[in-house]
Amino acid sequence: MDYDHVMRVFREAAIEAGARIMEVYRADDFDVRAKSDDSPVTEADEAADALISARLRAEFPDVVLVTEEQADSHGQSAVRFIIVDPLDGTKEFVQRRGDFTVNIALVENGVPVRGMVYAPAKQRLFYTDAQGVSVEETGAFDLAEIGPVTPIRVKKPDSAGLFVVASKSHRDEATDAYIAKYPVADLKSAGSSLKFCLVATGEADLYPRLGRTMEWDTAAGDAILRGAGGRMVRFEDHQIFNYGKSGYANGFFIAFAPGVELQTP
């Protein structure tokens, strides 16, 4: 594929969706409904999904598209597919905490090879470039003109004290018990796929997740982490984390900067 074209389309779709999400976010009120799995959904999720899906299907009609908000897409399987979470962190969105993102990723042979994570409320935009190198863009996020980009890289962890990030809405006793196995210099909470990006930029060293996620929650952030020199492995055996699983459900995982000595479960 023409990865330069892919990432330009992903970028434009994410920025357009982010603008629509922020329109709803700034409104005095908006409806929140429960989906069949009891997770929340809003008009922002659905509007962003419609925008992104329309653009991706027009640009890449021959590539399978999997998106959280379209249940009929969850039964597909393919060697190459695009996977989307139009509003990751809906709980953070509803509570107006700002830690929500637009996630778009391209997966090939089980590997998320390109990813886009846009946090419109925080004005942070992370993605892999055409060569697969992860960058953070700053500026006005103009659709037609790409702003200044800075390559991002995981940092070398300090074994005497790690910077750890954990889920803001889904942290539990099991997560805290696992984190306690490490020497921790700082522990922060964050929502959505921003946690992957914090490891990718060196703002954190370790992100363990002992809870339910889906591939659309993680693929874009994982791609950015990989493009910044980081890794994501299965929690139970520290083996490589793959995509395209039946139903797109994830097991527990650990995202980290190389140099972190992973502890056994």
197 and 103 assigned to the same domain: no
The rounded distance, in Å, linking the Cα atoms of 82 and 76 is 11
Residue 231: which of 200, 210, 261, 198 has the closest Cα?
200
Structure tokens at 135: 């960058």
Tell me the CATH number at 192.
Answer: 3.40.190.80
87 and 138 assigned to the same domain: yes
Report pLDDT for 115.
Answer: 98
Residue 262 domain flag? no
Report pLDDT for 36.
Answer: 78
52 and 109 assigned to the same domain: yes
Q: Which of 116, 151, 186 is the last residue of a domain?
A: 151
Residue 35 domain flag? yes
56 and 171 assigned to the same domain: no
The rounded distance, in Å, linking the Cα atoms of 132 and 177 is 35
118 and 207 assigned to the same domain: no
Per-residue pLDDT in tens (0 to 9) along the chain, 265 residues: 999 999 999 999 999 999 999 999 999 889 899 887 778 899 999 999 999 999 999 999 999 999 999 999 999 989 999 999 999 999 999 999 999 999 999 999 999 999 999 999 999 999 999 999 999 999 999 999 999 999 999 999 999 999 999 987 778 899 999 999 999 999 999 989 999 999 999 999 999 999 999 999 999 999 999 999 999 999 999 999 999 999 999 999 999 999 999 999 8
Q: Dump pLDDT digits (tens) for 121-165.
A: 999 999 999 999 999 999 999 999 999 999 999 999 999 999 999
19 and 125 assigned to the same domain: yes
What pTM does this model have?
Answer: 0.97
14 and 110 assigned to the same domain: yes
Q: Are 126 and 117 within 8 A, CB to CB?
A: yes
Report pLDDT for 3.
Answer: 98
- Number of structural domains, the chain? 2
Q: Can you say whether residue 139 is alpha, beta or left, with left for phi > 0 and alpha for psi between -120 and 50 degrees? A: left
Domain enclosing residue 98, as ranges: 3-151
Q: How far is CA 47 from CA 64, 86, 146, 171, in A?
A: 20, 9, 24, 29
